A and B are shown apart, each in its own frame.
Chain A
């Protein structure tokens, strides 16, 4: 277990890394006491995107598959949560059933799409384009579902107004609700400190789990698939299965973000499938460094916060800055900001070894 956590693939190890990480998490626990309800609501919306970002990093950075359809799974997770929870509105288990429904729907869809792409021997940009096109088609489909005939059970899909109270429908999407026994339940609204603590707990848990996964033999196999799929296959690895499995895990993570997003704001519209929604996670992960889960987490939170600050002061310039940032990172630091740290440590190694050889000569 120790070996899995301290790892071979995911960067960051040793006591300093773990102590800094633990301090960061502990520090975060004090946040709800320091800020107002509105700031917390905002911060919750940043944190819930972390799963989407780690899923993309897992696929792109660790497995070499650049999926541009992660927001499809985000949206499917969100819509499925909403539809299930609305239909079971009277039950205290509605939202938990929605959570299960959201993840299952996304994983089933990912398995289907994985069969179409990976088992169809598609690679590289083809996978990216197919996933993107599927996402955009879902968006146009849902935009057409405004009529009253478009409903699943009691949930109206609502066209471009989406699902939930903003669509003008009577039904509301329930927040996260946990039955506490004796007919009582705990309702966790999107602006509550409880929602925040749930997110922090889930993020820490997901990070450690994924870290163990990528450091396991599965992760070593993924690295081989990323570097040279043909060679990996001749060493006995079923690359299509590995890619599809990773794709499903990435989809589950994106769906997690999607359903938390719906539980947070009690609404979802087809725009979550759109091009802008799709490019943002790519920016977070590319800028921070796609070959690290920790970088993806930090990138998602920091860049969302930064973009919001920009949007407050600079209005529409926020997206331009983010787009330009993406181009610059690809040109100057293809492995993201994380590679600065690696370059630094490599430089230090070189310097110390050259110092050593100098002292030996002296």
Chain B
């Protein structure tokens, strides 16, 4: 029993880490097809902003908001100056954001220095049935779920969501219907940057805040995003994070952290080898296969009865 609870706790923790570190990247990729190589730097900016806000005497929650604002502002600025000029040219936008990433991380190092003061972690631990759980970790899980639900509601119920979905599937058609697609793209990029900044500020509560801060999260964010695909952003993100976290946790518990990490990568490679458009299509294929199998066995048994 204790093992099961401990596994569930670790699983939820992995899920939260994967979902939070990739959510901003997934939004931008899913909506615009752009791989934002500066994603990790947006996370870094969020953490730096939060640290500065806290040093200015803001309460922790407002300090985190400061971090989100900083990341959003820089995201919007870059969208106007660079990303907008490269719509539809995905490899170019990838390369350009990589250059931006280099400028941002190295710029932070030169202008601000190798590290800034850490943020305090207000969460303690709770003890349930003789086991200790970090409240911070549980908070991350709740936050990941809350963000995914909010995004889903945003896409499902708001005007922005409707326009965004239209822009994503049929950009020309949406434009013809009066949707200002450049506006949608700008808001999307800003939203992606904001979410990255938010995740960065939250992770900053427990990690050292350095210019290379984002580097710890970008590889896993990239893995989640290729597995998630771009067909349905939220369902893809959810399925991708749930499956990869399961693999990671299982192998971490069974062997060690490194094995868990490598196993997660190998799983991701297998998934995209089987279904290059992402995990949702793989699930769809498996379902189709199962129903085909069922109907074919049903068919043969019907024929057998007829023959008999």
Q: Do chains A and B touch in the complex (CB under 8 A)?
A: yes
Q: Is the CB of B103 closer than 8 A to any CB of chain A?
A: yes
Pairwise interchain contact A326-B265, C-beta atoms closer than 8 A? no
Q: Is the CB of B99 closer than 8 A to any CB of chain A?
A: yes
Pairwise interchain contact B261-A137, C-beta atoms closer than 8 A? yes
Pairwise interchain contact A133-B90, C-beta atoms closer than 8 A? no
Min CB distance, B85 to chain A, in Å? 6
Pairwise interchain contact A136-B99, C-beta atoms closer than 8 A? no
Hey, which chain B residues are within 8 Å of A2, CB to CB?
none
Bound-state Cα–Cα, A240 to B269, Å: 17
Hey, which chain B residues are within 8 Å of A137, CB to CB?
219, 261-262, 265
Tell me whether chain A's interface is mostly helix, strand or loop, or mixed.
Answer: helix
One digit per residue, 1 when the CB lies within 8 angstroms of any chain B CB and 0 when it does not, for chain A 263-293 equals 0000000000001100100110010000000
The size of the chain B interface, using a CB distance under 8 A, is 39
- Among the listed stretches B2-10, B185-193, B222-230, which one makes contact with chain A, having 4 or more residues with CB under 8 Å of it? B222-230
8 Å CB contacts to A: which residues of B239-294?
258, 261-262, 265, 268-269, 272-274, 276
Pairwise interchain contact B106-A319, C-beta atoms closer than 8 A? yes
Question: What bracket does the count of chain A residues touching chain B fall in?
Answer: 35 or more
Hey, which chain A residues are within 8 Å of B33, CB to CB?
125
Tell me whether chain B's interface is mostly helix, strand or loop, or mixed.
Answer: helix
Q: Is the CB of B100 closer than 8 A to any CB of chain A?
A: yes
Min CB distance, B210 to chain A, in Å? 14
Pairwise interchain contact B226-A327, C-beta atoms closer than 8 A? no
One digit per residue, 1 when the CB lies within 8 angstroms of any chain B CB and 0 when it does not, for chain A 120-159 equals 1111111011101110110011001000000000000000
Nearest A residue to B275, CB-CB: A120
Q: Is the CB of A316 closer than 8 A to any CB of chain B?
A: yes
Q: Is the CB of A11 closer than 8 A to any CB of chain B?
A: no
Q: Is the CB of B109 closer than 8 A to any CB of chain A?
A: yes
Residue in contact with B82 in the complex, picked from A116, A134, A140, A327, CB distance below 8 Å: A327
Q: Is the CB of A322 closer than 8 A to any CB of chain B?
A: yes
Pairwise interchain contact A323-B100, C-beta atoms closer than 8 A? yes
Pairwise interchain contact A120-B272, C-beta atoms closer than 8 A? yes
Bound-state Cα–Cα, A328 to B69, Å: 26
Residue in contact with A282 in the complex, picked from B90, B95, B223, B272, CB distance below 8 Å: B95
Nearest B residue to A286, CB-CB: B95
Pairwise interchain contact A116-B215, C-beta atoms closer than 8 A? no
Bound-state Cα–Cα, A323 to B95, Å: 10
Nearest B residue to A319, CB-CB: B106
Min CB distance, B38 to chain A, in Å? 10
Pairwise interchain contact A122-B276, C-beta atoms closer than 8 A? yes
Pairwise interchain contact A141-B258, C-beta atoms closer than 8 A? yes
Q: Is the CB of A330 closer than 8 A to any CB of chain B?
A: yes
Pairwise interchain contact B273-A125, C-beta atoms closer than 8 A? no
Q: Is the CB of B91 closer than 8 A to any CB of chain A?
A: yes
Q: Is the CB of B136 closer than 8 A to any CB of chain A?
A: no
Q: Is the CB of B52 closer than 8 A to any CB of chain A?
A: no
Pairwise interchain contact A134-B265, C-beta atoms closer than 8 A? yes
8 Å CB contacts to B: which residues of A288-336?
315-317, 319-320, 322-327, 330-331, 334
Q: Is the CB of A256 closer than 8 A to any CB of chain B?
A: no
Bound-state Cα–Cα, A245 to B173, Å: 40
Q: Is the CB of A49 closer than 8 A to any CB of chain B?
A: no
Pairwise interchain contact A133-B222, C-beta atoms closer than 8 A? yes
Q: Is the CB of B101 closer than 8 A to any CB of chain A?
A: yes
Most buried by A among B219, B226, B276: B219
Pairwise interchain contact B225-A129, C-beta atoms closer than 8 A? yes
Min CB distance, B37 to chain A, in Å? 9
Min CB distance, B200 to chain A, in Å? 17
Nearest A residue to B257, CB-CB: A144
Min CB distance, A228 to chain B, in Å? 15
Q: Is the CB of A66 closer than 8 A to any CB of chain B?
A: yes
Hey, which chain B residues are within 8 Å of A141, CB to CB?
258, 262
Residue in contact with A323 in the complex, picked from B86, B102, B272, CB distance below 8 Å: B102
Pairwise interchain contact B92-A334, C-beta atoms closer than 8 A? yes
Pairwise interchain contact B265-A282, C-beta atoms closer than 8 A? no
Pairwise interchain contact B226-A320, C-beta atoms closer than 8 A? no
Hey, which chain A residues are within 8 Å of B258, CB to CB?
140-141, 144
Min CB distance, B223 to chain A, in Å? 6
Hey, which chain B residues are within 8 Å of A133, CB to CB?
219, 222-223, 226, 265, 268
Residue in contact with B35 in the complex, picked from A125, A136, A275, A317, CB distance below 8 Å: A125
Pairwise interchain contact B95-A326, C-beta atoms closer than 8 A? yes
Min CB distance, A72 to chain B, in Å? 13
13 contacts between A and B (CB under 8 A): A120-B272, A122-B276, A123-B276, A129-B226, A136-B219, A137-B219, A283-B99, A315-B110, A317-B110, A323-B101, A323-B106, A324-B103, A327-B99
Q: A122-B272, A320-B107 are in contact. List 4 more A-B contacts (CB 8 A).
A: A126-B226, A130-B226, A130-B269, A323-B101
Which 7 pairs across A and B sit closest by C-beta, in order of nearness?
A323-B102, A326-B99, A327-B99, A323-B103, A120-B273, A319-B106, A330-B96
